[in-house]
Amino acid sequence: MASIIAPKVEGLYTALREETEKKRLNAGDIMRSLVKAIVLTPENDELHIDVRGDLAGIPTLATNTKNPAAIERRLGRRAA
């Protein structure tokens, strides 16, 4: 997964630092390639955000775990 995400994140970083707006617009294309869907679910006066796609895998890589509940605990939130 890291081999897929790393080049895209590097491209995103580069696109956001471009001097012209036309070149910075490439960042939107890269973000769309990383996010398949964003699902917002209201529950008990809270809004749960579920990001689906390659971007959702970044916290897993950063925390070196495949367990979403562990990621939630490290972020100080309860797992859904």
**Tens of pLDDT, residues 21-70:** 888 888 888 888 888 899 999 989 999 888 888 877 776 666 665 665 65
Q: Span 2-18, mean pLDDT?
A: 84
Nearest to 37 by CA among 23, 22, 20, 56: 56
> Three-state SS for 46?
strand
Q: What are phi and psi of 49, to 5 degrees?
A: -115, 125
Q: What is the pTM of this model?
A: 0.55
User: Residue 69: how many CB atoms within 10 A of its CB?
Assistant: 12
> Three-state SS for 22?
helix
What are the start-end ranges of the H helices in the chain?
A: 2-16, 21-24, 26-34, 58-63, 68-74
